[in-house]
Amino acid sequence: MSYATPFETFGIWAVVAVAVSALGYAIILVFQVLRQDSGTSEMQEIASAIRTGAQAYLRRQFRAILVLIAILTIVLYLTAALAGAEWHISVGRAAAFLMGSLFSATVGYVGMSMAVAANVRVASASRRSVTEALRIAYRAGTITGMLTDGLGLLGGTLIFIIYGKTAPEVLLGFGFGGTLLALFMRVGGGIYTKSADVGADLVGKIELGIPEDDPRNAAAIADLVGDNVGDCAGMAADVFESYEVTMVSAMILGLALQPFDLKWIIFPLLVRGIGVVSSILGTYAVTVWPTKDAFKAMDWSYDLSSLLSTISFAFLAHFYVGDWRVFWSTFAGILLAIGFNKYTAYFTHTDHAPVQQIARSTRTGAATTILSGLGIGFESTVWAILIIVIAILASVLIFAGSGVSYVLYSVALCGIGMLSHTGNNVSMDAFGPIADNANGIGEMSGMEAEARSVMATLDAVGNTTKAITKGIAIASAVIASVSLFGSFITNINVARSELGLSSSGHLSGINIADPIVFVGMLVGGAVPFLFSSLSIRAVERGATAIADEVRRQFSNAGLVRGEVKPDYERAVVICTTAAQKELVGMGLLAVLTPVVVGLLLGAESLGAFLGGVILVGQLLAVFMANAGGAWDNAKKVIEEGKYGGLHSPAHQASVVGDTVGDPLKDTAGPALNPMIKVINLVSVIIAPLVVRISTQTDQLWIGYTLGAAGLVVLGIVVWRSKREN
Amino acid sequence: MSYATPFETFGIWAVVAVAVSALGYAIILVFQVLRQDSGTSEMQEIASAIRTGAQAYLRRQFRAILVLIAILTIVLYLTAALAGAEWHISVGRAAAFLMGSLFSATVGYVGMSMAVAANVRVASASRRSVTEALRIAYRAGTITGMLTDGLGLLGGTLIFIIYGKTAPEVLLGFGFGGTLLALFMRVGGGIYTKSADVGADLVGKIELGIPEDDPRNAAAIADLVGDNVGDCAGMAADVFESYEVTMVSAMILGLALQPFDLKWIIFPLLVRGIGVVSSILGTYAVTVWPTKDAFKAMDWSYDLSSLLSTISFAFLAHFYVGDWRVFWSTFAGILLAIGFNKYTAYFTHTDHAPVQQIARSTRTGAATTILSGLGIGFESTVWAILIIVIAILASVLIFAGSGVSYVLYSVALCGIGMLSHTGNNVSMDAFGPIADNANGIGEMSGMEAEARSVMATLDAVGNTTKAITKGIAIASAVIASVSLFGSFITNINVARSELGLSSSGHLSGINIADPIVFVGMLVGGAVPFLFSSLSIRAVERGATAIADEVRRQFSNAGLVRGEVKPDYERAVVICTTAAQKELVGMGLLAVLTPVVVGLLLGAESLGAFLGGVILVGQLLAVFMANAGGAWDNAKKVIEEGKYGGLHSPAHQASVVGDTVGDPLKDTAGPALNPMIKVINLVSVIIAPLVVRISTQTDQLWIGYTLGAAGLVVLGIVVWRSKREN
């Protein structure tokens, strides 16, 4: 910090102040939401069951991973200490890891708590007016958005203030903690929510033809709990992690650029600070716009935030950095976010050709419905890649001729720009499951049809915003990964020169023309498939267990007539167990695979492994998110009356499509985003150690032994998961 | 050839003699098959309709691509001439391209012609005995197998005899021609066969519940034609191409190794020659074994061939090359083939856990059937990658310490070993569709149940052998591609040094840590998804058209009662049109994408693009082949009586799974294998030109203009294909 100009010192503390203000704003919103009327006692009873189930689940999840987090804290200390770092850096990395996990968990937990408090209030407000229901749901979502912004910005800035030039080593810990927690929340929450949802539908919608959230369905409460632990807690932690990792990579690359000129690192912090202010103003404006269309209001707010930010970024680039290129890179990120929004809407919105096409193919049955969804999902990956490719190429061209370090920094700035309005995104996204839950409470407590139609409208808007947030999150994974590649190579070269190995030695990149390196890439490509396979099958197992339970309870005639209440608790327990079972195993999979590849095949293969994970992870995640979203909305098209409408054969086919899409879009797909980043950060963190072990012939046996041990653990994880089938 | 020892000269001519003998053996078998009794006049009438349809289709297909082939012949001449090659090499490359296409087309056409001649003879023989039916079907398959071996070996060896040290430049043309034709045969045949099959099933099996091949189904003949143009002609051309490309890559790398010692190039030729002899003996033995189990007889024959070859390879390595390492690399290939056989059988055979699991999930309906198939298909890719990775690592370790050229040669030898018993594989594979067709003729001509059960047994065996051949083909694509990477880098470095650019310049590999290179990899990964999306949707469109036609004809009450014959011809025309529509576009996609990437992003990005194509292509191809195969056999499990058997809800769910799997396993998946290789060979061929254009600043505009033009053409191709939806 000693090199900072007075303006820079002021700027950094201003960023801290903005972060704290965001948290303060969140607290104000909490009181505003809680002050609202919380409905009839019947509604409150259902809401309380949801709340209890959701909180019990998250607590159990946190307990389940506690030991792993404790072990990893020590391991993180060792990764720095063994690589020769000073003690305060090693301790800092471990502490930052803890802080990152804690922040991620907090965002998820608080976000979910607000959702389960808001749902019943939205249900109650929907009896009065759309505007009021919208305001409460959106404000509850904004709380999570502000937490995401505030904690992400605060953590990163504080680490920079404390550690200065040595911050990168510590920031890696912060990023890893947040990402790992997000992975657990996404996997656990995703398996929970879709086991309940698919299981409830298999018996309710498909076998018995009763509506969703029918109070006689034993899985009804579990389904509503699932929306909160998956779509709220899981999503919030995941977006927090994306926000944090893009910042970490920009700071690392900025610090590496010009050690004695702080503007390259302070610029991204200021950009993020401005983004938070723009988000506060934008989200505040949502209820002010002269429109009754909820989506339009949120869209306008997003545009307002983007406009405010863009102007401020330009001022900052001109007057502070004195280099317009940083503006263009950040602006490319803003455009990338907008481009991805439009792209996702095209592939998943009911108005456009892809969903219409799937809807049309329901006429010839379930098989063609699935086939056209697969075809469209496959195609959508191509356009996603092209949009990302254009953004990367633009970032490269903006800094063309300045060398690869600047180019990577430029890509990182693109990520900074892209996620600068995370506050808006989270608010828009969290809003959907809250409306959905409110609707469920309405259905279960037998609320009047007009109020429920208000909530259904809000829910439909939420489906689109949800798809958009997922798209942004996965695109940010690729952008962050490309920039982190730079840190990976830097780390390796630094380690090599510290060991006295010529830095002009055989590693100055990742050469996939070398068969051993190519093998790393092949293995990397297989990981997302393995991961998705495990999560899809976990959902299938969970859903089958739920379906059996619902069917068993329905064999009671009193339940069918509505005289006896079902035992909701049992379904909640089944989902909790299903989600917990895979949790630690899948976490180990993400953490251990890069370690094993690095130790057995070397640092360069590890880099190619990373490339394979990013490439295939991105493709699969987009495919699953879009195919799932499109099937979901194709069903909506049929339900609105096309091709025979509700209960027609076309509708049955569309329900099959939707059910297949559910675990793809809400479990397997979203989990790939944090998985990519966990693997990425683990690779960057262990790179120096891998170089150390693999280049000293007398230590080779250590690497191979550890690698083989890791392989055995991975084998056990996969075997256990398969055995349960 | 002037450096060859007398033994080597003798050896090469012996290989030519073996190749010619294989062709001679094929001719003998043709007469043996044609001599058989060709059934009743009713059977002959149906067989003649199938033959007419199949041959008309292939002829139309050849006509459709004639112009493209002519243009490419000139382009191939130019790729060599513009890069500064002597005239006889440029002409040789163009001529070899024509020869490669012609050979590939011949193998496909003759293979199919034999299949349509054999089907009715097998049907007739099945009335007498299993053994006789098996013998005819297998012999007809062996004709194709021998053609594959004979033409592949002959072409490669002749080019080597004529061109000697400069053969690589010409061999590339030979490989490209064979691969491109195979791509067309796979795409066209695949779309044809599955449009007919899925379309016939949509109405016949799903809507009306009538059996497959019911003579009242207007698509019945088209379905049988499809088996021939897809599973026979397409498969034969594809396997020929795999056989040829693994040989081309081994020869190129062998020649590069030690220009003055021919043993590195003569060894793979001798190995292939021995493989053909072993295949002749092995396939001949099939009808000799003391077993009535067709699969066991073929399996034993395969083992016999493997044993004969392994012993001979060892002798050759010891006495001729004097280096046991070449034996071990080739042996690794034989083991890889065996490993892949067992692996595919595990994931797709009715006896094992994966298929059993899918069968179990049919109890909860179509959605869980699809989900468990997706989960298992995803998982299967992981094991496929691991098997390939182990083979590559073994090849690398065998030549460890000898430098990267030897390592790549070792990988190429692994490919040589892997496909040395292509003769057996093709015989086993072609046998399936012949039995299937015979069964169809039996059904349509109302043959007695016993004879039909004989053919059904043979058909079921064919399903497994078909899956095995697909697995081998795709694994060979990865192995060949890894070794061709070496040629790619060599070509680039040679071009650079010819241009006076320092060969220690910035390209000594493909460094994916560079963002522009990474972008190439991202684009490469998208191509297999685009390709699969186009083919799946082409099938869906074709199948819907067929379903509409069958439904329309069924509205005639006389047809339902069996008094009126359906108009089979219309369905044949619909399938032909559906298949033709996509043909040229998808060919252009494979040929142009590497050109565009190379010209716009440079040679290194092109290398990464190739890596992305191989990685994702392999994963998708294996996923689609295995998921499809597993769904197919899960249906068989239900039909054998489990979970309610035929016409139960579980059976309906399994039919949905099978229908979804059909275009995945028989159209999109198999087409990826030649696609990977077309892209690979195009990249190697254009590499010198790309270097030339992109490193001379005054010619940069040429590259960008051509690249942009290519992009426009690609845009039009995709747009046209989407518009037809």
Using CB atoms within 10 Å of the CB of residue A67, give its burial: 0 to 12 exposed, 13 to 18 middle, 19+ buried. exposed
Span B579-606, mean pLDDT? 90
- Per residue in B424-435, pLDDT tens? 888 888 888 888
- pLDDT for B3: 64
Rounded CA-CA distance A15/B542 in Å is: 59
Q: Does B460 score more than 80 pLDDT?
A: no
- The DSSP 8-state label assigned to residue B290 in this structure reads S
Assembly ipTM: 0.93
Q: What is the pLDDT of residues A82-100, one digit of tens each?
A: 888 889 999 999 999 999 9
The Cα–Cα gap between B107 and B20 comes to: 15
Closest Cα in chain B, distance from residue A418 (Å): 18
Q: What is the mean pLDDT of residues B267-275?
A: 93
Mean pLDDT of B675-693: 90
Give me the phi and psi of A213, to 5 degrees please: 60, 20
- Are A511 and B510 within 8 A, CB to CB? yes
Mean pLDDT of A227-250: 89
Amino acid B391: pLDDT? 93
Instruction: Report pLDDT for A613.
Output: 96
Are the Cβ atoms of A385 and B485 closer than 8 angstroms?
no
A663 contacts B389? CB cut-off 8 A: no
Can you give the pLDDT at residue A158?
94
pLDDT surpassing 80 at residue B208: no
- Helix, strand or coil, per DSSP, at residue A4: coil
pLDDT band at A2 (very low <50, low <70, confident <90, very high): low
Contact B660/A371, CB-based, under 8 Å?
A: yes
Q: Which of B361, B515, B544 sits opposite A392 (nearest CB)?
A: B515
In this structure, are residues A505 and B386 in contact, taking their beta carbons and an 8 Å threshold? no
pLDDT tier at A506 (50, 70, 90 boundaries)?
A: very low
Give residue A179's pLDDT: 94
CB pairs under 8 A between A and B: 248
CB contact under 8 A, A364 and B544: yes
The stretch A702-712 carries a mean pLDDT of 86
Chain A residue nearest residue B537, CA to CA: A375
Nearest CB among B375, B392, B534 relative to A515 is that of B392
pLDDT band at A508 (very low <50, low <70, confident <90, very high): low
Amino acid at A94: A
**Which of B372, B482, B529 is the closest to A381 by Cβ?**
B529
pLDDT of residue A525: 96
Please enumerate in sequence order all residues whose Cβ is within 8 A of that of B192, keeping only pairs 6 or more positions apart, or say none: B57, B225, B226, B229, B230, B542, B575, B576, B578, B579
> Looking at per-residue confidence, does B508 or B482 come out higher?
B482
Checking if the pLDDT of A641 tops 90, the result is no
Q: What are the tens digits of pLDDT across the range B147-202? A: 999 999 999 999 999 998 888 889 999 999 999 999 999 999 999 999 999 998 88
- Chain A residues in contact with B525 by the CB 8 A cut-off are 385, 615-616, 618-619
| Integer Cα distance of A359 and B133 in angstroms | 46
Convert the pLDDT of each residue in A409-448 to its tens digit. 999 999 999 999 888 888 888 888 888 889 889 888 888 8
Q: How far apart are the first and last CA of chain B?
A: 56
Contacts 24+ apart (CB under 8 A), B392-400: B392/A515, B392/A518, B392/A519, B392/A522, B392/B479, B392/B482, B393/A516, B393/A519, B394/B328, B394/B332, B395/A515, B395/B329, B395/B332, B396/A515, B396/A516, B398/B325, B398/B328, B398/B329, B398/B332, B399/B325, B399/B329
Nearest CB to B513; choose among A375, A485, A525: A485
C-alpha B688/C-alpha A47 separation (Å) is 68
Pick from B51, B16, B432, B422: nearest CA to B238: B422
Interface test with B, best of A514, A652, A697 (most B CBs within 10 A): A514
Question: Can you read off the two tokens belonging to residue B137?
Answer: 């079907």
pLDDT score for A644: 87
| 3-class state of residue B311 by DSSP | helix
Which of the four pLDDT bands, split at 50, 70 and 90, describes residue B382?
A: very high
pLDDT in tens, B293-342: 777 888 888 889 999 999 999 999 998 888 899 999 999 999 998 888 88
Read off the DSSP letter of residue B667. I
Are A569 and A660 in contact by the 8 Å Cβ rule? The answer is no
Q: Which residues pair with B9 in a beta bridge?
A: none
Q: How confident is the model at residue A402 (pLDDT cuts 50, 70, 90)?
A: confident
CB distance A544–B368 less than 8 Å?
yes
CA atoms within 13 A on the CB side of A255: 21
How far apart CA A397 and CA A325 sit, in angstroms, is 10
| Confidence class for position B356, pLDDT limits 50, 70, 90 | very high
pLDDT greater than 70 at residue A297: yes
Which structure tokens are listed for B598? 């190379």
User: How many helices, marked H, and strands, marked E, lie in chain B?
Assistant: 22, 0
Highest mean pLDDT among A248-262, A619-633, B638-652, B687-701: A619-633
Closest CA to A21 of A146, A135, A141, A113: A146
Name the 3-class secondary structure at B92: helix
How many angstroms separate the Cα of A715 from the Cα of each of A235, A669, B339, B596?
30, 23, 19, 42
Cβ–Cβ below 8 Å for B370 and A660: yes
Residue from B203, B506, B508, B510 to probe the interface with A (highest A Cβ count within 10 Å):
B510
Is there a contact between A76 and A94 (Cβ–Cβ < 8 Å)? Answer: yes
Q: Measured in whole angstroms, how far is the alpha carbon of residue B482 from the centre of its chain? A: 18
Instruction: Give the tokens for residue A152.
Output: 């992400």
A570-587 pLDDT per residue, tens: 888 889 888 888 888 899
User: Mean pLDDT across the stretch A183-199?
Assistant: 92
| Lowest mean pLDDT across A472-481, A608-617, B271-280 | A472-481
Which of the four pLDDT bands, split at 50, 70 and 90, describes residue A260?
Answer: low
Asked if A522 lies within 8 A of B659 by C-beta distance, the reply is no
Average pLDDT over every residue of B273-291: 88
CB A188 within 8 A of CB A583: yes
Percent of chain B predicted with pLDDT > 70: 98
Contact A337, B502 (CB under 8 A): no
* Residue B130 confidence (pLDDT): 82
Read off the pLDDT of each residue in A107-136 and give the average, rounded to a whole number: 90
At residue A510, φ and ψ (nearest 5 deg) are -125, 100
Q: What is the pTM of this model?
A: 0.94
The answer on pLDDT for A504 being more than 60 is no
Whether the predicted pLDDT of A502 surpasses 60 = no
pLDDT of residue B259: 67
Residue B113 scores a pLDDT above 60: yes
**Dist CA A687 CA A485 (whole Å):** 11
pLDDT of residue B340: 87
pLDDT at B534: 92
Top residue of A368, A635, A683, A717 to mutate, by most chain B CBs within 10 Å, is: A368
In this prediction, residue B505 has a pLDDT band, given cuts at 50, 70 and 90, of very low
Per-residue model confidence (pLDDT) at position B369: 94
